[in-house]
Amino acid sequence: MDTDKLSKAMISLVDLVALLRGPGGCPWDARQTDTTVKTYLLEEAYEVLDALSKSSAPEVCSELGDLLFQILFLAQLAAERKEFDLIDVVETVTEKMIRRHPHVFGETKLDSAEDVVLNWTKIKETEKGPSDNRLSSLQDVPVNMPALLRAHRLGERVSGAGLSRSQPDESWNDVQDNIDKLRSAIDRSEKEQLGEEIGDILFSLVDLSRNWGFNAEQLLMHANQRFLKRFEETDPKKETSP
C-alpha cells in the first residue's frame, strides 16, 4: 500500500467533510447532528453487508467509502464541540488493538482462536475495572443491536463468563422444551403466552446455532434469501422461455 497516497487521500476526505460543515458549505450537512447521522450510519453499515453478500468488489469498495464518510462526519461533529477529533479516534483504536492482542505484540502465548476470544474478554473486563455485578458484561451488549445478533452475543458473554456451559444437545433440549410450551399455549389459545413462548424458542434456537458454530443472524439472512429465490422461481409473472 502506498502510505503517502493513503495519507493524502484521508486528509483530502477529512478536509472535504470540514468544508461541507463550514461557512459557505452545504446547508443540509451543516444542519446534521449526532442523532440524525445515526440513521445514515446504520443504513450504510447494512449496505456494506449487502455488498459483501453479493461478493461484488466494486460495490463493497463504494459502500465502505460511504460508511467511512459517516464515521468521519461524526468525528468532525465531535471536533467542532472540542470533544475529540479523528486523530484521537485512530490513536485510541490502535492502542486498544495492540493492548488486546498481547499474543501478537507481547509475550502471551495463545494456541487457538478460542483462547484468543477468552483472553480478549478478560482484557476487556480488566480495562473496565473491577465490578461487583457479574451481569455487567451482559448489560454492555447494545440494546439496539439486531435481536438475533444480540441474543448470540448474550450467549457468548454468558458462556465466556463461565455462567453457562451448555452443549449442542442441551441447547436442543431447550428448543424442544420451549416447543412443547408453545404447543400448550396454542391449545389453550393464550395469545400473550404464545408470544412469549415464540420468543423463547427463537432465543433457544440462537443458542443452539451458536453451540454448533453458527450465527443465527447470518442463518436467517441466508434463509430470507432462499425464500426470496423460491418465491421468484414460482412467480407466475416470471417470463419463461418458449
Q: For 87-145, write each residue's pLDDT tens digit.
A: 999 999 999 999 999 999 999 999 898 889 888 878 887 887 765 566 667 777 888 78
pTM tops 0.95, yes or no: no
Beta strands in 12-145 (DSSP E): none
Length of the chain, in residues: 242
Instruction: Report the pLDDT value the prediction gives residue 184, as an integer from 0 to 100.
Output: 93
Task: Find how far residue 144's CA is from the centre of its chain.
Answer: 10
**What CATH number has the domain spanning 142-236?**
1.10.287.1080
Q: Which residue has the cell 396454542?
A: 186
Q: Please name which of 119, 153, 115, 113 lies closest in space to residue 137, comparing C-alpha atoms.
A: 153
Same topology, domains 3-84 and 142-236? Answer is yes
Q: Name the residue ranges covered by the structural domains of the chain.
A: 3-84, 142-236
Per-residue pLDDT tens digits for 188-211: 999 999 999 999 999 999 999 998
Q: Out of 59-63, 98-102, 151-155, which region has the weakest mean confidence (pLDDT)? A: 151-155
CA distance 134 to 200: 23
Instruction: Report the pLDDT value the prediction gives residue 166, as an integer from 0 to 100.
Output: 63
Average confidence (pLDDT) over 150-169: 75
Q: CB atoms < 10 A from the CB of 190, how many?
A: 13
- Say which CATH superfamily domain 3-84 falls into: MazG-like (1.10.287.1080)
CA distance 185 to 196: 10
